[in-house]
Structure 1
Amino acid sequence: MRRRPRRRASRLALNLVALAVIACSVFPVYWMINLSFTPGDQIISRTPSLVPSDPTLLNYVTAWIRPAAPGQTDFPNALRTSLTVVAVVVVFALLFAFLASIALARFRFRGRGVFIVGILVVQMIPGEAMMFTVYNLIDDMHLMNTLIGLSLVHTAAVIPFTVWTLRGFVAGVPMELEEAARIDGCSAQGAFWRVTFPLLAPGLVSTGIFAFMQSWNEFTMALLLMKDENLTLPTWLNSFQSATEATNYGAVMAGSTLICIPVVVFFLLVQGRMTGGLVSGAVKG
């Protein structure tokens, strides 16, 4: 009988800790949205308010229409640039990583172990350490300030992790499932696409989300390779800072909120496929 009160007390303590962690995680997002509706004179006030007393949409209008700096692009053009680069990165990263993960998990060939170790080593190298090399390479290819050049750099940065992640998903699918399908009359290709591939859907969605997030939030290489009308959203947001003018923090918060919206929409669209793939494949009801 004494164990039940102890269990209830431990559950209550764990729930309180979980709520505290959630609050600490959610509050910065709430504060960003709160400031995006707050007038500029109230943002710099020494008595901040959890709820704007005089909410306004002027910050969003400023962030959407006005370029962040003279000669720079506006939000719609930066959004178009980011979406184009992200779409290219997700498609090609998943394609290359899918083929490489199949080869690493299903076949035994010379140099396989070295290749896997090489993937791990590449992930340990920070992108900033390769800035000058990447800059010279893209410049020699005459791809500076182009969507193709930035897409190549982002794809190369994403592929190692996607290959490593998908390899684990492919290795986790038993070969016996394909063998059973082949006994039932399927060809090798048919067994793979009808049995194995549906089980890999969660891995493809997970790695696709990672590729999307990494390319969407990447700042260093985009700042190094892109300028003027080809800025991506992170570099566009950074250009609100000026040495000659005061920073419009309301517009910065509004722009940050707008940048988050496509990520939330993308996740809402793919989460159903991610959970659906977990129960599809070998067993049919």
Structure 2
Amino acid sequence: MSTATPTRPTAPPGPARPRPARPNRAVRVGRWQIYVPLALYLLFTLVPFYWMVVFAVRPRGSTSLLPWPISTENFETVWNGLGFGVFFANSLKVGLASLVATTVVALAGGYALARYSFRGRTLFLVAMLCTQFIPGAMMLIPLFEVFRTLDLVNSLWSLVVAETVFQLPLSLILLSGFIRNVPVELEEAAWVDGCSRLRGFLVVVLPMLRPGLVAVGSFAFINSWNNFLFALMFVSEQDKYTIPVGLAFTLGEFSVDFGALAAGGVVAAVPVVLVFAIIQRYLVQGLSAGAVKG
């Protein structure tokens, strides 16, 4: 008599393992739709800078598309012959002074707008915004008369004052928004612990405003560095020119030294590129996330 061997019960078939999804054709098309415009925009943006670097570092008389062999003749001509060392120092002084003045005044005014309620605050903010629609060229004659009365014409301080006045409204509004995002309860806790209002602001609020301060300060410095109109109108002596005015005076009446002009452009662009490379992390935080985390 034969006995049948017992069979193991088979487990019910489980769900089929999903196959890895292939990239959708629509997704691939969508990526090309993003990358191609970005590549064209990048090419359109970088080609002028490439030609500026090529003209600056290639030898005089060369027509090569590649900057080889590299020559520093144009930089020596610009820095020593045309006085760009003095122009660079003047631009640096004006930029740093405008940065400090704009940041300090905007910080004090922004705190007042964010923490105090007073009659006319909304009207004041609207007036600050409206000043951004006034072109700087319309204010040249009034500013010149003011600076002439104060004996600031042909002085770098006139550039610092003008740059601070024109950059202050937007900086004040930005910093007031950052300070408003800081909970007032943090300051009140510091007051309970014995801090004065000033010390509470310096210890509690100011460290949280780092992204906003970097954003405001960087805009103030870059705008002062690149400003041409005020430096052209309020300064007449060559030893007080800034870089934009110095670049304009490299253009001759009947000829243009493209190598020297390109070298001056490189000298003017390098500090701006370095500033943005160093502060880009804080700049993005300051323009997007605000001043408070968590």
Q: Normalising by structure 1, what TM-score?
A: 0.84
Equivalence for 1:240? 250
Structure 2 Cα separation of the partners of residues 52 and 232 of structure 1: 28
Equivalence for 2:157? 148
User: Equivalent residue of 1:29, what SS?
Assistant: helix
Gap regions ≥5 residues in structure 2: 1-20
2:18 aligned with 1:10, yes or no?
no
Residue pair 1:198, 1:281 contacting (<8 A) in 2 also? no
Match of 1:263 among 263, 266, 272: 272
Match of 2:77 among 49, 57, 62: 62
Cα distance per residue 1:214-246 (max 9 Å; x no partner): 000000010001122110111011111122x52
Structure 1 Cα separation of the partners of residues 61 and 156 of structure 2: 38
Structure 1 Cα separation of the partners of residues 57 and 183 of structure 2: 53
Equivalence for 1:103? 112
Structure 2 Cα separation of the partners of residues 156 and 32 of structure 1: 33
Match of 2:233 among 224, 227, 230: 224
Residue pair 1:166, 1:203 contacting (<8 A) in 2 also? yes
Structure 2 Cα separation of the partners of residues 4 and 264 of structure 1: 39
Residue pair 1:39, 1:55 contacting (<8 A) in 2 also? yes
Match of 2:209 among 168, 178, 200: 200
Match of 1:38 among 41, 48, 58: 58
User: Equivalent residue of 2:232, what SS?
Assistant: helix
Q: CA deviation at 1:125?
A: 0.2
Structure 2 Cα separation of the partners of residues 126 and 167 of structure 1: 24
Structure 2 Cα separation of the partners of residues 247 and 22 of structure 1: 28
2:126 aligned with 1:117, yes or no?
yes
Equivalence for 1:46? none
Q: CA deviation at 1:85?
A: 1.1
Quickly say closer, same or farther: Cα 1:92–1:24, change in 2 above 3 A: same
Q: Normalising by structure 2, what TM-score?
A: 0.82
Residue pair 1:101, 1:170 contacting (<8 A) in 2 also? yes
Q: CA RMSD in A?
A: 2.6
Structure 1 Cα separation of the partners of residues 187 and 45 of structure 2: 43
Aligned AA (1:65)? N
Quickly say closer, same or farther: Cα 1:149–1:280, change in 2 above 3 A: closer
Residue pair 1:40, 1:249 contacting (<8 A) in 2 also? no
Q: CA deviation at 1:14?
A: 1.0
Structure 2 Cα separation of the partners of residues 153 and 239 of structure 1: 22
User: Equivalent residue of 1:108, what SS?
Assistant: coil
Residue pair 2:132, 2:169 contacting (<8 A) in 1 also? yes
Structure 1 Cα separation of the partners of residues 145 and 290 of structure 2: 47
Aligned AA (1:106)? R
Q: CA deviation at 1:134?
A: 1.2
Aligned AA (1:97)? A
Residue pair 2:152, 2:158 contacting (<8 A) in 1 also? yes
Q: Tell me the matched-pair count.
A: 270
Cα distance per residue 1:108-149 (max 9 Å; x no partner): 111212211111111110001111111121112111111122
Residue pair 1:201, 1:274 contacting (<8 A) in 2 also? no
Quickly say closer, same or farther: Cα 1:279–1:129, change in 2 above 3 A: closer
Cα distance per residue 1:155-187 (max 9 Å; x no partner): 1111112112212222222334444x4498463
Residue pair 2:59, 2:69 contacting (<8 A) in 1 also? yes
Quickly say closer, same or farther: Cα 1:138–1:211, change in 2 above 3 A: same
Larger Rg: 2
Residue pair 2:74, 2:259 contacting (<8 A) in 1 also? yes
Residue pair 1:59, 1:250 contacting (<8 A) in 2 also? yes
Quickly say closer, same or farther: Cα 1:136–1:279, change in 2 above 3 A: closer
Structure 2 Cα separation of the partners of residues 109 and 280 of structure 1: 24
Aligned AA (2:73)? L
2:148 aligned with 1:139, yes or no?
yes
